[in-house]
Amino acid sequence: MTYLFDPPPQAALPIYGSDSTFPVHRIYCVGRNYAAHAREMGHDPDREPPFFFQKNPDNLITDGTFPYPMASEDVHWELEMVAALKSGGTNIPAEEALDHVYGYTVGLDMTRRDLQGTAKQMGRPWEVGKAFENSAPCTPISSAAQVGHLDSGAIWLEVNGERRQDSDLDKMIWSIPEQIAYLSGLFELRAGDLIFTGTPEGVSACRRGDVMVGHVDGLPELVVKVI
């Protein structure tokens, strides 16, 4: 059998210190996982179970740019630590969840907030706000074998040299093991899945020409220019 047309290239992230790349299967993103961010978006963080949405694997971009997208005039940054899975399964206990994590990357969950806001108001899906081209700038992956598993430490974003997001990984409402346990009760997780683990407070709109520097203690920084 042959394909009718060439299949798209396999989405993948580079890995620091390796000639291999990390083939990406799915991208899951948790919503409102830092209390102060949930509050700035108008929600009560204390009463909500976690919820997830997805981006498309081919939304990843790793060349240090973020091409400003079409159809929006209010594109927000959301700096997040991202967990990369080397294996998966269903109903994974939280105590075993980190066994499935290959490593971590620093990522931006870029969001067309105006389109997401309309979708929320009308009870529509979020894809137009979240899952658009180039909406997931990321660094290469650092393996947990090299950097360990990260559950505390600074996470911050500077835009044009000014600190705009500033928090600590230990402020996540749902820890990474809890996110994996919960997600694996809804979906069969697989090797190659990425999980965006939520953004702290301080989200706001970027403009063309902005330089965003994202930092997570223990990981190389993400530097992205809006073009």
Binding footprint of Mn ion on the chain (CB under 5 A): 78, 109, 199
Beta carbon nearer to Mn ion, 109 or 158: 109
Beta carbon nearer to Mn ion, 62 or 199: 199
Beta carbon nearer to Mn ion, 139 or 199: 199
β-strand pairing of 142-143 with 65-66: unpaired
Burial 7-43 (b: 16+ CB within 10 A, else e): eeeebbbbbeeeeeebebbbbbbbbbbbbebbeeeee
- The sign one gets for the Cα dihedral 92, 94, 100, 102 is positive
Beta carbon nearer to Mn ion, 15 or 27: 27
CB of 37 to Mn ion, least distance (A): 8
CB of 27 to Mn ion, least distance (A): 11
Residue with CB nearest Mn ion? 109
CB of 78 to Mn ion, least distance (A): 4
CB of 30 to Mn ion, least distance (A): 7
CB of 31 to Mn ion, least distance (A): 7
Beta carbon nearer to Mn ion, 105 or 199: 199
CB of 9 to Mn ion, least distance (A): 26
Beta carbon nearer to Mn ion, 12 or 41: 41
d(CA 166, CA 154): 7
